[in-house]
Amino acid sequence: MAAPKKTTKKKVEKKARKTKPKTQRTAVSKKKTAKKVVRGKKITSKKVLRKKTTTKRVARRRIATRVHRHAAPAKRFVNALERHPNNPIINPSEGSPWESRATFNPTAIYHDGKIHIVYRAVGDDDNSVLGYAASEDGYTITEQHPIPIYYHFLRKNKSDASLGYSSGGGWGGGSEDPRLILLEDRVYLFYTAFDGWGSVRMAMSSISLEDFLAKRFNWKPPVLISPPGQIHKNWVLFPEKIKGKYAILHSISPEIMIDYFDSMDHFDGNTFIYSVHQNSPLWAMRDRHIRGVGPAPIKTKYGWLVLYHAMEGHDPNRYKLFAMLLDLNDPTKVLHRSRGPILEPDEWYENEGYKAGVVYSCGAVVKDGMLLVYYGGADKVSCVATANLDAFLKELTADHMPKLQNSKIMKKK
């Protein structure tokens, strides 16, 4: 009879591990999982990740350009805008009842050596109208029109009309946050038409360049281009046609949305652009920190330069200015985007007004190689900030970190 095999201490321990009760093995497993904690975050295995992956589908097909969330403090932009020491360049005037309270959110066009500025003004009657100023160097106001050049009234719009407006831009309503666009031989005006909380819609008017320069402010009757019952702001027209068509940029979050038209006469008061709004399915997908486009796009050799307003997640109560570049031929494609803001509300005139912590730009031009950005401070005054355009664009294009993510939304089966 063969001798029995010796049972060593190691074999006993191995056998004990194999016969360990299930509950005890589970406890050990949990103990090991508990060790896999790094600063409060459990490390999950790849297998678990696969189980957590969802396959939710949306009921329409679209290639969306999704905007990265402005969540954490971002890297500062080195060639950011620098404020001019003359700021504010346009202030409210107690001697002018129509602009006694605020002169802010300016827009601008550059033509024949002169910068033409149109700004939103609020006066004693709490209505919003538009005023005019001009500058030779871009910083010093050399001319200012004595009466409003525009007010929102759908039946008539002439600068020699009575100043007793029925709409305005404080609580009264009127024409707010203008964008001027020079396209060929015509000056287009996009603005927010506000009737005192009952309606916030996008409106458009235009005037010939010849009449504008001669200060014959007989604007074409305005037309509403956004649908009734929806709130829309911050739409802009590209300053030249794209593939032979007029292009209107009306959303940058959650998608870059552009509509194209053969003629601007397409709008007759009953034809509208349908964009993202509060009752839209896309509304919940938007980046809530983004407020919208600022000035009309500027064409550069790198692409369309678009400045836009946004807040940051760590600093949610201050409006800041950011920048991105869109493809020249297909401006729904985002090429580059600034890592951080290019202008923040830090000066006293950006905090002492009707809304503290606000820089809000509606106009920008290029003059002698310099980017001049016109903006409102604290919803009260008009200011200007500048940057060397070439250095600004080089830094913007050097940022290869993707900030806008392409995501494909599948069609429901």
Per-residue confidence (pLDDT) for residue 210, from 0 to 100: 98
Rounded to 5 degrees, φ, ψ at 157 are -150, 90
Closest CA to 58 of 340, 408, 341, 313: 408
Q: How many residues does the chain have?
A: 413
Count of CB atoms within 10 A of residue 401's CB? 9
Q: Which residue type, as a one-letter code, is found at position 2?
A: A
Task: Locate 58 and state its tokens.
Answer: 């949306």
- The SS3 of residue 49 is helix
Expressed in percent and rounded to 5, the helix, strand and coil fractions of the chain are 15, 40, 45
The domain segmentation of the chain, as residue ranges, is 79-405
Per-residue confidence (pLDDT) for residue 75, from 0 to 100: 64
Closest CA to 122 of 85, 76, 175: 175
Q: Which residues pair with 202 in a beta bridge?
A: 192
Q: Which residue type, as a one-letter code, is found at position 286?
A: R
- Largest distance between two CA atoms of the chain: 125
Per-residue confidence (pLDDT) for residue 130, from 0 to 100: 97
Count of CB atoms within 10 A of residue 340's CB? 18
292: enclosing H helix or E strand:
strand 290-293
Measuring CA to CA, how many Å separate 75 from each of 81, 263, 289, 359, 360? 15, 42, 17, 19, 21
Per-residue confidence (pLDDT) for residue 153, from 0 to 100: 66
Per-residue pLDDT 10s for the chain (413 aa) are: 444 444 444 443 444 444 444 434 333 333 333 333 333 333 333 333 333 333 333 232 233 344 445 544 556 788 889 999 999 999 999 999 999 999 999 999 999 999 999 999 999 999 999 999 999 999 999 999 999 999 886 544 444 433 232 333 466 789 999 999 999 999 999 999 987 666 789 999 999 999 999 999 999 999 999 999 888 899 999 999 999 999 999 998 888 999 999 999 999 999 999 988 777 776 666 666 788 899 999 999 999 999 999 888 888 899 999 999 999 999 999 999 998 999 999 999 999 999 999 999 999 999 999 999 999 999 999 999 999 999 999 999 996 543 333 333 333 33
Cα separation, 332 vs 296, in Å, equals 15
Q: Which residues of 205-215 are buried (b: 16+ CB within 10 A; e: fewer)?
A: bbbebeebeee
Determine if residue 214 is left, alpha or beta; phi over 0 gives left, psi from -120 to 50 gives alpha, anything else beta: alpha
Q: Which residues pair with 183 in a beta bridge?
A: 186
Answer positive or negative: Cα dihedral of 341, 102, 182, 192: positive
Per-residue confidence (pLDDT) for residue 166, from 0 to 100: 33
pTM for the model stands at 0.77
Contact, 82 vs 387, CB < 8 A? yes
- The SS3 of residue 10 is helix
Q: Which residue type, as a one-letter code, is found at position 413?
A: K
Cα separation, 246 vs 239, in Å, equals 9
Cα separation, 353 vs 104, in Å, equals 10
Task: Locate 41 and state its tokens.
Answer: 């975050």
Q: Which residues of 1-37 are buried (b: 16+ CB within 10 A; e: fewer)?
A: eeeeeeeeeeeeeeeeeeeeeeeeeeeeeeeeeeeee
Which residue reads 């030249």 in tokens? 240
Which residue reads 């819609």 in tokens? 201
- The SS3 of residue 211 is helix
- The SS3 of residue 257 is strand
Determine if residue 91 is left, alpha or beta; phi over 0 gives left, psi from -120 to 50 gives alpha, anything else beta: beta
Q: Which fold has domain 79-405?
A: Tachylectin-2; Chain A (2.115.10)
Task: Locate 347 and state its tokens.
Answer: 């000066």
